[in-house]
Structure 1
Amino acid sequence: MITYMRCNDVSMEHIFQAFSLGFSDYSIRLTMDQDDFVARFFGPEGNTRNHSFLAMDENQPIGLILGGVRQFDGYKTMRCGTLCVAPAYRGQGISNKLLELHKQTAISADCQQLWLEVIKDNHRAVKLYEKQGYQPRYTLKYYNGTLPSAPPAALSSSYILKEVTFDDVAAFRKTLTDCHIHWQSDTPYYATSTQEAFLGIYEVNQTCLGMVSMSAQGKINFLWVDPKHRNQGLGRALLHRAAEIQKIEKVYICLSDNDSLEGFIQKIGLSKDPIEQYEMCMPLNPSSPA
């Protein structure tokens, strides 16, 4: 008999077993031990055990949905951090039951929308989510490559490039109210990181003209340059200095329907990965004021 339990009522060993079994035949090989799994999925990913559910067949974990809540794009959002079912148990309605528990938990938490990411070519999963009421909202594209070793042209003396803090980046990010950044690159994702490089470019009057946030692994989490000051080398200067601080050459970035930033990324020579993802959304109270 299949039963469903909230993850704060089961062991982390069972949660990890369900995850490992559910992704055992996944198109992208996921190799991590339990400690890495906990550090990632219950760390920056923002999932919590009280918002997550495990499916069990007697004493065998066979399905898992992870959930986490935060303000996202101005709405209280429940995100599906992962959904998986053991290969031998697929087609039995387990995913539907897990998604229903996930949705009811979001409603109980007064969330305004549900959110998830799914590989674009995983047509079976996309169809499952669409049947549940999700719709594609954005497309995620991935780029990676090596930054030019030669430093960019020197900036004008009217610009000041300096290190800033996470609080500086987070406060500035809040001013970009019409700018969508996907869950795994927005400021809460790296809020507790002690290895992020934060830089800003300012005019002499301290007006901010650009900022970058880059992880120790070379992930460009945030890159913005004032539209009036683009094509002047500010973005290149920010990336080059951040890479110097992190002592790396290879960088990568995930873009969510950002044509201007994608054009810049292509211009500096980063290559697009073949895999794309959908960001999918389900409003929970669409009648609320915009």
Structure 2
Amino acid sequence: MITFKTMEHLTFKEAHELFTSGFEGYFIPMKMPMDTFIARFGNDNLSAALSVVMFDEDKPIGFVLQGIREVNGEKIAWNGGTGIVPEYRGKKLGTILMEKALELLKQQQVDIATLEALSINEPAIRLYEKIGYKVIDTLHFLEAEGLLSFDEQLASEFELKRIPALQAINANIFPSLVPWQVDPSIAPRTGGEVIIAMKDSEVLAACLVRTKQQFGNDAEGVTLFQAFTNNEHTDGMRALQAVLQEGLHFNHSIKRTTYNFEDKMKNVIPFLKSNGFKNTDISQVFMTKQLME
């Protein structure tokens, strides 16, 4: 008999074992130590009380991790992982599990449900589309290493500021509907910051990054999550290039990556590729479902 509870009814050990088993044989290994799994709930703003567990009698056999955040009065939810243990796959339980998870979100009056899925995971994408999700963007994982061309003239044209990502939450610098883990409310928990280009007190461009660096040492790597430019301003594109070369440390020999970087930033990706960034083997789709009309 199939029943459902929320993950708060499991012990840490039970939840971790279910997560590990649910992703067994997945396209990308999702094994992580128990402490990392537990910390993920805080780091990614997930909730055990909103995460659904499917049971066969007393045995947990599937799960959907979920979290909610509110932006400008709108509740946005995220599916932080869906899994079913191997022996229960192929029994059409995924649809039932997802519908139960959405039911819980509707009870919480969530406006929009979001998730990401690997582009190559076509069965999962079809399942999500079957229950009403729509693909609204492709997400890129690019990378580059070494020194890149740093334009000093470009850097001098704008007033560049660095602020903690925390200060960008609800500041209307970046869009509110974005892949969950690239939002300023998530990135600052692990050292995110925003680089802003201004001219005459007007914000022309910004990027959200996280740099891997210990005090007293050179930066080892940097990840780009989001970028914004004022396309209506004549200097918007140059301002964007200025914040990117600054935020991504073009003048240092380090490793650079993008994480869940949206395809709609079409003016950013060509610039990055012209400066040595290349596609990796990973890409995802960003999917949303309107829950409240």
Deviates more, 1:221-230 or 1:181-190: 221-230
Q: Deviations over 1:117-147 (max 9, x none)?
A: 1122212112222222222222222211125
- Residue 34 of structure 1 aligns with which residue? 34
Distance 1:156 1:67, change over 3 A: closer
Distance 1:176 1:2, change over 3 A: closer
Cα distance in 1 for residues equivalent to 2:50 and 2:7: 8
Deviates more, 1:62-71 or 1:273-282: 273-282
Does residue 1:24 correspond to 2:24, yes or no?
A: yes
Does residue 1:241 correspond to 2:240, yes or no?
A: no
1:100, distance to aligned residue in structure 2 (A): 2.1
What amino acid is aligned across from residue 250 of structure 1 in structure 2?
K
What amino acid is aligned across from residue 14 of structure 1 in structure 2?
E
Cα distance in 2 for residues equivalent to 1:76 and 1:132: 20
- Residue 158 of structure 2 aligns with which residue? 159
Distance 1:82 1:63, change over 3 A: same
Q: How does 1:6-25 map to 2 (within 5 A)?
A: 6-25=6-25
1:171, distance to aligned residue in structure 2 (A): 5.0
Percent of aligned positions that are identical: 23
Q: Deviations over 1:141-184 (max 9, x none)?
A: 22111253453333365522232233543354x1555x753222
1:50, distance to aligned residue in structure 2 (A): 0.7
Identify unmatched segments of 5+ residues in structure 1.
none
> Would the aligned equivalents of 2:50 and 2:67 in 1 still touch at CA under 8 Å?
yes
- Residue 183 of structure 1 aligns with which residue? 180
- Residue 220 of structure 1 aligns with which residue? 224
Does residue 1:209 correspond to 2:204, yes or no?
A: yes
Cα distance in 2 for residues equivalent to 1:248 and 1:49: 41
1:95, distance to aligned residue in structure 2 (A): 1.9
- Residue 265 of structure 1 aligns with which residue? 272
What amino acid is aligned across from residue 181 of structure 1 in structure 2?
V
> Would the aligned equivalents of 1:145 and 1:271 in 2 still touch at CA under 8 Å?
yes
CA-atom RMSD in angstroms: 2.7
Q: Deviations over 1:268-288 (max 9, x none)?
A: 221112332222222223xx3
- Residue 199 of structure 1 aligns with which residue? 195
Identify unmatched segments of 5+ residues in structure 2.
213-221
Secondary structure (helix, strand or coil) at the match of 1:21 reads helix
Q: How many residues are treated as equivalent by the alignment?
A: 279
> Would the aligned equivalents of 1:243 and 1:249 in 2 still touch at CA under 8 Å?
no
What amino acid is aligned across from residue 151 of structure 1 in structure 2?
F
1:4, distance to aligned residue in structure 2 (A): 2.3
Secondary structure (helix, strand or coil) at the match of 2:256 reads strand
Does residue 1:255 correspond to 2:261, yes or no?
A: yes
Cα distance in 2 for residues equivalent to 1:248 and 1:237: 18
Q: Deviations over 1:46-99 (max 9, x none)?
A: 210111122234554321111111236974222211110011111234322321
Q: How does 1:139-158 map to 2 (within 5 A)?
A: 139-146=138-145, 148-149=147-148, 151-155=150-154, 157-158=156-157
What amino acid is aligned across from residue 196 of structure 1 in structure 2?
G
Distance 1:102 1:73, change over 3 A: farther
> Would the aligned equivalents of 2:116 and 2:284 in 1 still touch at CA under 8 Å?
yes
TM-score by length of 2: 0.83
What amino acid is aligned across from residue 269 of structure 2 in structure 1?
E
Cα distance in 2 for residues equivalent to 1:100 and 1:171: 30
Distance 1:273 1:73, change over 3 A: farther
Cα distance in 1 for residues equivalent to 2:280 and 2:155: 35
Secondary structure (helix, strand or coil) at the match of 1:114 reads strand
Cα distance in 2 for residues equivalent to 1:75 and 1:272: 34
Cα distance in 2 for residues equivalent to 1:272 and 1:130: 26
- Residue 215 of structure 2 aligns with which residue? none
What amino acid is aligned across from residue 45 of structure 1 in structure 2?
D
What amino acid is aligned across from residue 6 of structure 1 in structure 2?
T
Cα distance in 1 for residues equivalent to 2:43 and 2:7: 18
